[in-house]
Structure 1
Amino acid sequence: MLGSLARTLREEARRADERRLCCLAGEADPEPALQEVLDAADLDDAVLLGHRDLAALTRHEPRQAGALLGTTRDCVVVDLRDECRPNALGRAVGAVDGGGLLVVLAPPLDDWPDRRDRFDETLAVPPDTLDDVAGNFRRRLVGLLRAHPGVALVDLDSGTVERDGLTEPAPTQPTSPPALPDDHAFPRVAYESCLTDDQVAAVQAFEALREGNSAVVCTADRGRGKSSAAGIAAGALAAAGRDVLVTASDRRGAGELFARARAVLDAMGLLAHGEETVQATDGGRVRFASPAEATDLPDDPDVVFVDEAAGLPVDLLAAFLGRVPVGYATTVHGYEGAGRGFAVRFSERLARNDVDVREVTMADPIRYAGTDPVEPWAFRALLLDASPPVEPLVADATPESVEYVSPSSADLREDEHLLREAFGLLVLAHYRTEPDDLARLLDAPNLTTHLLTHDGHSVAVALVAREGGLDPETCAEVYREGRVQGNMLPDLMTGQLRDPDAAGPVGRRVVRIAVHPQVQSQGLGSRLLDDLHGEFDDADWFGTSFGATPRLLAFWQDNGYRPVHLSATRNATSGEHSAALLRGDDSPLVARHARWFRERVGDVLADTLREVDADVVRRTLAGTTFEEPNLTDREWRLVAAAAYGPGQFDMHPGPFRRLALAVLTDPESDLSADRERLLVRRVLQFHDWEVTAEELDYFTASGARRELGRTLQVLVERYGLKAARDERDRYG
Structure 2
Amino acid sequence: MPTAKTLTALSNWNTALVQTLNAHRQLLVVSGSAHYCKDVVDQLTQQYRDQETLLLGTFLYPGNNSLNIAAYRHVLGAEYSLAIVDTFDAFRPNAVLAVAGTVTQGGLMVICCPDFNQWPVYREASTGHYLSYGEQLQFSQLRAAILMQFGDTSNVAILRENYAPELPELNSAQPPVAPPSPFKSEEQQRLFNLITGGQPIGSALLTADRGRGKSTLLGIIAGHYMATQAQSVIITSRYAESVNQVFTGVLLTCPQVTQIDRHQVSFNELTCRWLPLDHPLLTNITDSTLLLIDEAASIPVPQLTALCNQAKHLLLSTTVRGYEGSGRGFITRFIPWLKQHRPDIHHYELQTPIRWYEGDPLERFWYRALCMDTTVLANGEVEPEETLCSSTICYEALDKGQFDSSTNRQLLPLLMQAHYQTTADELVRLYDSPANNTLLAIRDNEVIGVLNYQQEGGALLRDVANDIACGARRVNGHLSAQGLSMLLASSAMATATYWRINRIAVLPRFRRKGIATTLINRLLQQAKTAGVDALTTSYGATPSLTAFWNTNDFVPAKPGLKRDASSGEYSLLMFLPLSQLMLDVQALITQRFSQELLLHPAPESFGCQAPFSPFAVNESIRACTLTILEQVINGSRSLQHARGSVAWLLETQSEAITDNESKAVLEDFVANSNKLNTLTERYRLSGKRETERFISSHIGRVLTR
Please classify the TM superposition score into its range, dividing by the shorter chain length: 0.7 to 0.9
Match of 1:542 in 2: 535
Match of 1:16 in 2: 22
Flag the 1:351–1:57 CA change in 2: closer, same or farther, 3 A: closer
Flag the 1:623–1:193 CA change in 2: closer, same or farther, 3 A: farther
Residue 480 of structure 2 is aligned to residue 489 of structure 1: yes
Match of 2:167 in 1: 164
Residue 206 of structure 2 is aligned to residue 218 of structure 1: yes
Measure how far apart 1:102 and its partner are. Answer: 1.1
Residue 490 of structure 2 is aligned to residue 504 of structure 1: no
**For the residues of structure 1 that align with 2:24 and 2:78, how far apart are their CA atoms?**
17
Match of 1:5 in 2: 10
1:15-414 to 2 correspondences below 5 Å? 15-27=21-33, 29-40=36-47, 44-54=51-61, 58-118=65-125, 120-131=127-138, 134-158=139-163, 160-161=164-165, 163-167=166-170, 169-170=171-172, 172-173=174-175, 176-179=177-180, 192-207=181-196, 216-237=204-225, 240=229, 242=231, 246=235, 248=237, 250-252=238-240, 254-256=242-244, 258-260=246-248, 263=251, 267-269=255-257, 271=258, 273-276=260-263, 281-282=268-269, 285-288=272-275, 290=277, 298-300=283-285, 302=287, 304-311=291-298, 324-336=312-324, 355-387=343-375, 395=383, 400-401=389-390, 403=393, 405-414=395-404
Match of 1:474 in 2: 464
Flag the 1:340–1:628 CA change in 2: closer, same or farther, 3 A: closer
Asked if 1 retains the 8 angstrom alpha-carbon contact of 2:570 and 2:605, the reply is: no
Match of 1:620 in 2: 606
Match of 1:445 in 2: 434
**For the residues of structure 2 that align with 1:252 and 1:142, how far apart are their CA atoms?**
35
**For the residues of structure 1 that align with 2:173 and 2:127, how far apart are their CA atoms?**
43
Match of 1:422 in 2: 411
Asked if 2 retains the 8 angstrom alpha-carbon contact of 1:336 and 1:432, the reply is: no
Asked if 2 retains the 8 angstrom alpha-carbon contact of 1:225 and 1:365, the reply is: yes
**For the residues of structure 1 that align with 2:346 and 2:275, how far apart are their CA atoms?**
24
State the one-letter code of the partner of 1:562. Answer: V
Asked if 2 retains the 8 angstrom alpha-carbon contact of 1:235 and 1:260, the reply is: no
Does the residue aligned with 2:440 lie in a helix, a strand or coil?
strand
Match of 2:544 in 1: 551
Measure how far apart 1:317 and its partner are. Answer: 5.9
1:633-644 to 2 correspondences below 5 Å? none
Flag the 1:202–1:546 CA change in 2: closer, same or farther, 3 A: farther
Task: Encode CA deviations 1:404-431: one digit per residue, 9 max, x unaligned.
Answer: 534244254152x112211111111223
Match of 1:700 in 2: none
Match of 2:555 in 1: 562
Flag the 1:276–1:573 CA change in 2: closer, same or farther, 3 A: farther
Aligned residues, how many?
A: 607
Does the residue aligned with 2:492 lie in a helix, a strand or coil?
coil
Flag the 1:257–1:21 CA change in 2: closer, same or farther, 3 A: closer
Asked if 2 retains the 8 angstrom alpha-carbon contact of 1:561 and 1:583, the reply is: yes
Task: Encode CA deviations 1:230-287: one digit per residue, 9 max, x unaligned.
Answer: 2333444456455656555x22464236424653686243x57555566665456555
Aligned-residue sequence identity (percent) comes to 24
**For the residues of structure 1 that align with 2:291 and 2:359, how far apart are their CA atoms?**
35
Measure how far apart 1:49 and its partner are. Answer: 1.7
Match of 1:598 in 2: 594
State the one-letter code of the partner of 2:27. Answer: L
**For the residues of structure 1 that align with 2:116 and 2:585, how far apart are their CA atoms?**
47
Task: Encode CA deviations 1:349-384: one digit per residue, 9 max, x unaligned.
Answer: 666668245332212211111132111111112222
Does the residue aligned with 1:122 lie in a helix, a strand or coil?
coil
Measure how far apart 1:507 and its partner are. Answer: 0.8
Measure how far apart 1:139 and its partner are. Answer: 0.8
**For the residues of structure 2 that align with 1:243 and 1:566, how far apart are their CA atoms?**
44
Flag the 1:279–1:482 CA change in 2: closer, same or farther, 3 A: farther
**For the residues of structure 2 that align with 1:494 and 1:628, how far apart are their CA atoms?**
19
Asked if 1 retains the 8 angstrom alpha-carbon contact of 2:59 and 2:125, the reply is: no
**For the residues of structure 2 that align with 1:294 and 1:202, how far apart are their CA atoms?**
30
Asked if 2 retains the 8 angstrom alpha-carbon contact of 1:295 and 1:320, the reply is: no
**For the residues of structure 2 that align with 1:56 and 1:322, how far apart are their CA atoms?**
44
Task: Encode CA deviations 1:98-147: one digit per residue, 9 max, x unaligned.
Answer: 1211122111113322333245533442343233xx31111111011112
Does the residue aligned with 1:121 lie in a helix, a strand or coil?
coil
**For the residues of structure 2 that align with 1:246 and 1:581, how far apart are their CA atoms?**
41
Task: Encode CA deviations 1:283-303: one digit per residue, 9 max, x unaligned.
Answer: 56555454xx69997114545
Match of 1:643 in 2: none
State the one-letter code of the partner of 1:600. Answer: E
State the one-letter code of the partner of 2:549. Answer: W
**For the residues of structure 1 that align with 2:609 and 2:331, how far apart are their CA atoms?**
32
Query: What TM-score, normalized by structure 1, do the two folds share?
Result: 0.72
Flag the 1:539–1:215 CA change in 2: closer, same or farther, 3 A: farther
Measure how far apart 1:227 and its partner are. Answer: 1.8
Match of 1:669 in 2: none
State the one-letter code of the partner of 1:592. Answer: L
Query: What TM-score, normalized by structure 2, do the two folds share?
Result: 0.75
Task: Encode CA deviations 1:549-570: one digit per residue, 9 max, x unaligned.
Answer: 3333333333333333333333
Task: Encode CA deviations 1:632-668: one digit per residue, 9 max, x unaligned.
Answer: xxxxxxxxxxxxxxxxxxxxxx9xx99xx9xxxxxxx
Measure how far apart 1:619 and its partner are. Answer: 4.6
Measure how far apart 1:385 and its partner are. Answer: 2.4
State the one-letter code of the partner of 1:121. Answer: G
Asked if 1 retains the 8 angstrom alpha-carbon contact of 2:79 and 2:104, the reply is: yes
Asked if 2 retains the 8 angstrom alpha-carbon contact of 1:26 and 1:156, the reply is: yes
**For the residues of structure 2 that align with 1:628 and 1:88, how far apart are their CA atoms?**
46
Does the residue aligned with 1:365 lie in a helix, a strand or coil?
coil
**For the residues of structure 2 that align with 1:482 and 1:332, how far apart are their CA atoms?**
36
State the one-letter code of the partner of 2:608. Answer: A
Flag the 1:150–1:338 CA change in 2: closer, same or farther, 3 A: farther
Asked if 2 retains the 8 angstrom alpha-carbon contact of 1:26 and 1:107, the reply is: yes
**For the residues of structure 2 that align with 1:344 and 1:123, how far apart are their CA atoms?**
25
Does the residue aligned with 1:130 lie in a helix, a strand or coil?
coil
State the one-letter code of the partner of 2:589. Answer: H
State the one-letter code of the partner of 1:370. Answer: E
Flag the 1:254–1:83 CA change in 2: closer, same or farther, 3 A: closer
Flag the 1:245–1:516 CA change in 2: closer, same or farther, 3 A: farther
Does the residue aligned with 1:491 lie in a helix, a strand or coil?
helix
Measure how far apart 1:66 and its partner are. Answer: 2.2
Measure how far apart 1:18 and its partner are. Answer: 1.8
